[in-house]
Structure 1
Amino acid sequence: MSVIQFESHKTSTQAWVAPQLAVIVPSYNERDNVALLYEKVTTALGGIPFEFIVVDDNSPDGTVSVVRELAQQHANVRAIRRIGRRGLSSAVIEGISSTSAPYFAVIDADLQHDEAILPTMLEMAMAGDDIVVGTRYGGEGSVGAGLSKAREAGSRFATLLSGILTGQGLSDPMSGFFLMRRDVFDQIAPSLSDEGFKILLDIIVSADRFHALRGKRLRIGEVPYTFRPRHAGESKMSPIVVVQFLGLIVSKLTRGLLPTSFLLFGLVGGFGVIVHMGTLWLAHERLSLDFVWAQTLATLVAMTFNFVLNNELTYANRKLRGWRYFTGLLTFYAVCSIGALANVSVASWIYAFDGQFYIAGLLGVLMSVVFNYSVTKVFTWR
């Protein structure tokens, strides 16, 4: 077949139609789920023109290869492979930013969300709702067999906390399944956090505040569904996700004054103080090391602890691996050493001026935390 014949054949069989809806699918290690999800979404949406955008965090299981094979067969499938970036919130934001469709839906790749309600969600958005949420807790919705009793209890508690923050009468603000108008998203995109896993909560709070400042009311609709068991693969839920969620709650309560990453960095630093004092006691009191050597050892142990935990928790979306892990550790040592000097200098100056050691010590610690956070964010986890 000649090039001209190929192009003619392609035009006749795959005539382009502008999508009315973009289905955004954040993924990590979901190779056994994405093709089936596409089939189910296609069936559910019927004749509604849509595009299926999988935003993959460089999954080692080859998820993006599966999506690319799908894209060879279906013109409305796209794969975005993210290298050096991780995290559900940032993946969703990147996927939404890549489409020009007037509406978009976010759905998990694991088939736990019921794609059959997508047409109803779209109808509600077209009728005027700014955001339409798939709910497990409202109307006839339920968690079904999709959550264990322990996870359901945790989900309901998180929903309670989220409801206090949003001030909205939502039954499931923690849902990861929602559909909204593109123009509403564009209004608040600059204020959204790319950290963590609960993007809907961030969107609702930001959009509600945006509308309130203009004397408007954010319209949110809900459609109940039954949460299904994961089809294949492993859940991404972990203690890290829980901590990041709590950090997002505090960050939103302070209207972004305290970023989630700064709160987590400070939390890690607090644990680092405990590790430092425990190591100092063990080295000096039990191993009888000279105080200077014991203090030096405790400082190195605490710095290493802080680096490892920050790499896993605070900067999970920029996690350092391979040789970058060790170069990152060295820059972390260097920055924290300078931060320690800043701590002592500031605390000494304040103590000489004020004479109250606890205020001087507290402000010195705060100074070093802010310095270490700001500089390591640029040089260690850039």
Structure 2
Amino acid sequence: MSDFDLIPRSQTSADAALAPPLARAAERVAAPAPLPRAAVELTVVIPSYCERDNIAELFRRLDAALDGVAWEAVVVDDDSPDGTAELAKSIGRRDPRLRCIRRVGRRGLSGAVIEGMLSSSAPVVAVIDADLQHDETLLPNMLKEIRAGADIAIASRYAEGGSATEGFSGIRRWGSEMATKLARRLMGVSVTDPMSGFFMLRREIVEAHAGDLSNQGYKLLADLLWSAGRDKRIVELTYRFRARQHGESKLDALVTLDYLGLIFSKLLGGALPVRFLMFAAVGASGVAVHLMMLQFGLGHLGLAFGWAQALAVITAMTWNFVLNNRLTYRDARLTGWGFMTGLIKFYLACSIGSIGNVGVASWIYSFHATAWLAGLTGAVMGAVFNYAVSSALIWKK
């Protein structure tokens, strides 16, 4: 039946012209409006890189653990080559509670978590690893604490009843425990596990301090506690850290050094970025390598000083490049042919930086400055130049 079939034949042509839009309007008014989705109370942020084998199972576990809670999950994937983002998006097409942010050209756990949190409109946000090592059944209790007035709820491996023995290698456990003790002393943090990657907090805290947080490194919680935790109500809940089921861990013993860089950056009031401090620390270790190789060339190889010095310079630059690639720029690590071309570029950059070092030091010394001041100034200028070139041309990501 058409709209015109609904019009009585006694109506005028003008009335008939008005009938169809009036009928359609009546139908729109009579049609029930779609029911709105419940407002999301909790966003669970899942940073990921090459975790395709774990995403579906983690989402299933979250669904079971958060029954009765208005929640969503955000997978923040650093452009995994294994298709993690594609799988997460395919799940999201069937279930809108899962969203995915695919980050291209940038990596790093802290940056991914911050980005995921800031994408949320929920009042509460949580962080959980994608590798199934965190106990998702703890999330309802963490949310209960937040509802009761806590600002931050931390899942602790080291509080009484917790355990990290199943999911940590011996050296990782030692590094984590050492970093935890250091944080409690230097940062004035009283929690047992400031290195935890499993926690929940009010989103307003992240919004208020987003500009103070470092997007480099792997220990966002310690950064948050330093920036905002001193006047916040914090509770800890214990859990047992699980062994990884699939894939490989992205963290190793060098994470502890990365964490030390974060602490020193915070102690300096954030005046120097964490990455520069790491770069400078690697450079300092290169000085020690240089001196040892110089002595080896002179004493054991019997080389003339010039040749021994050249060998020491090449060795130290190679050491610095390898360590920077492994630690300072681990989120943009070079491999294969990129590693070799990056090494050549690093040699060139350091050579130019050395010339600038000597030039600046000589210029400062010409003003009758003390030798140590001139030398230190030149070294700082050389380090800044090398860092700038390395970040812009070698480890571009």
**TM-score, L = length of structure 2:** 0.82
Matched, 1:299 2:308: no
Deviations along 1:317-340, one digit per CA (max 9) or x if unpaired, are 122346654554454334323321
Q: Give the structure 1 partner of residue 51 of structure 2.
A: 30
- The equivalent of 1:8 in structure 2 is none
Deviates more, 1:140-149 or 1:253-262: 140-149
Is 1:165–1:205's contact at 8 Å kept on the other side of the alignment?
no
Residue type at the aligned position of 1:270: A
The residue matched to 1:179 in structure 2 has which SS?
strand
Q: Do structure 1's residue 195 and structure 2's residue 209 form an aligned pair?
A: no
Asked if the contact 2:183/2:189 (under 8 Å) is kept, the reply is no
Q: Which residue of 2 aligns with 1:378?
A: 392
Paired residue for 1:160? 181
Q: Is residue 2:155 matched to residue 1:134?
A: yes
1:106 maps to 2:120: no
Question: Shift of residue 105 of structure 1?
Answer: 0.4
3-state SS in 1 of match to 2:52: coil
**1:273 aligned partner, one-letter code:** V
Residue 259 of structure 2, aligned match among 235, 238, 245:
245
CA distance in 2, matches of 1:153, 1:372: 33
Rounded to whole Å, the distance in 2 between the matches of 1:328 and 1:150 is: 30
Q: Tell me the matched-pair count.
A: 365
CA RMSD of aligned residues (A): 2.8
Do the aligned partners of residues 279 and 72 (structure 1) sit closer, same or farther apart at CA in structure 2, a change above 3 Å counting?
A: same
1:337 to 347, 351, 369: 351
Which stretches in structure 2 are left out of the alignment for 5+ residues? Answer: 1-31
Answer with 196-205 or 319-328: which moved more: 319-328
Q: Distance in 1 between matches of 2:349 and 2:219?
A: 31
Report the CA distance between 1:364 and its aligned residue.
Answer: 1.9
Kindly tell me: are residues 19 and 329 of structure 1, through their superposed partners in 2, closer, same or farther at Cα, counting changes over 3 Å? same
Letter in 2 for 1:202: D
- 1:279-314, CA deviations, whole angstroms, 9 ceiling, x for partnerless residues? 545566666666556544543443333223212211
Pick the aligned partner of 2:360 from 346, 357, 366. Answer: 346
Q: In terms of mean alpha carbon deviation, does 346-355 or 217-226 score higher?
A: 346-355
Residue 5 of structure 1 is matched in structure 2 by none
Equivalent residues in 2 for 1:320-335 (5 A)?
Answer: 320-321=334-335, 324-335=338-349
Q: How does 1:253-332 map to 2 (within 5 A)?
A: 253-281=267-295, 292=306, 295-296=309-310, 298-321=312-335, 324-332=338-346
Instruction: Name which of 116, 128, 145 aligns with 1:124.
Output: 145
CA distance in 2, matches of 1:52, 1:355: 60
Name the SS of the counterpart of 2:255 in structure 1: helix
Letter of the 1:174 counterpart: M
Instruction: After superposition, give the CA deviation of every residue in 1:214-270 in whole Å (9 maximum; x if it has no partner).
Output: xxx222122222222222222333122121112112212222123221121112212
Q: Which moved more, 1:271-280 or 1:191-200?
A: 271-280
Which residue does 1:184 correspond to in 2?
Answer: 205
